Structure 1
């Protein structure tokens, strides 16, 4: 028969065993959290690489690639619109966007070489070669959001890429160009002699799967 003292000792032993198990469990949890915190801090600071691939981050788009923007030489005047030849390319899912923009530019005196489709992206870009820098700035006055792409073409022609953010050519009254006044370089630009041109696309970039077929080239 169990005596009261034996029962008391048994209860004390059970409590002690329970406390020991709790101490082990909490000790393991605290150690795990400490190790996890140190690992997270090391990954955040770049001390170690994360143990997972980073492919799930947002897919890089054409507009994610920020390229240096070229400066104009001093005293560069606007180029007459009739001397600027443009290929207009649609980078959206809006049918006929390039043709519509081309018609607006043609009405202002620009020469439209052709219209077509481009890969899908967001912004507005003007591609040009070293001979077309002044022409690119002149066209950009009608497209305030445009960014420049400097390529290795040898002529002064331009490629105008219209992305999803494009709505319309700027109102003619908002175009601040005076044929007798030198144009200003954009803020933070780089002298073009220090830039390396990218290879020019000889044809329009492959159309995105959702890109519409453009109408016939604008006249």
Structure 2
């Protein structure tokens, strides 16, 4: 084998063999690629773990059934189902004969209210303190009591007091209407508000269902 002296080395070094020695370390490309791949894998695992933690804390376990819309269980009966009210034509105030009773502890309400209703065209038969079954027992603004034959008249009377309710007493045969002023009463409705209430009273909304479906919470695993 020949003795070679690389150029530029000034003959100070003698090397055996038929190739020149490397003057610098070879690049460790394999290690660099491996390190990059490892970094990508670590970052991917970290991201996947963070995503799983996010689902856990948000109540999502990845199950499509758990993420589906809640199912409805059988209906739960309400305490007092709202009876259905039929639409009906209401009479004009002149066609309503009413009694105005004060079921509160405030004095003078029956007379002042009766006078105003008379000015609005209603026929007031009498006014005074409420009968014993209703005296100081009406908590809403007013309770309208009438028999089946005076239901339309009772609805018309109810339009004059916001928040009032109508009670049909099946034992009554007359066509008069009793307006019981309750503790929540402040004043009669304005003519404009009474006109709006008249539309609703003549065409009441559908009755509420007797039971309300209760949604089932998503299952947990």
What TM-score, normalized to structure 1?
0.50
Structure number, greater radius of gyration: 2
What TM-score, normalized to structure 2?
0.49
Greater strand proportion? 2
